[in-house]
Amino acid sequence: MLEFLVNSPKIAVVVAANDKEELETSDVDTILVSAADRRAQRVIIYAAYDTKIPEIVAKHAKGKGVELIQTQWWQDD
């Protein structure tokens, strides 16, 4: 998982980019630890268009206040 910190004087946002077969609750928990360390107000995980996001993971993320965004594009090299 690739992680970014977007920081301004008023808000910190931790963003993770994830390209794997299936997102797991541990991915959500990992980014939450990083967000807590940085006192982030928002946490976002971007998942590749073909990454499976099980319902249990989506519910876990929502319950923890993590926004999941699944990309809808593909770049062919």
Q: What is the pLDDT of residues 16-56, one digit of tens each?
A: 777 789 999 999 998 898 888 888 888 888 888 888 999 99
The confidence score (pLDDT) of residue 40 equals: 84
The confidence score (pLDDT) of residue 9 equals: 67
CA angle 68, 70, 74 (to 5 degrees): 155
Residue 65 has which token pair?
């206040």
- In order of their start, the domains of the chain are 2-70 (3.40.1340.10)
- Whether 61 contacts 68, CB under 8 Å: yes
CA angle 3, 56, 37 (to 5 degrees): 30
pTM score:
0.80
The confidence score (pLDDT) of residue 29 equals: 93
Average pLDDT rounded to a whole number, residues 7-19 = 72
Minimum mean pLDDT among 17-26, 57-66, 67-76: which range? Answer: 67-76
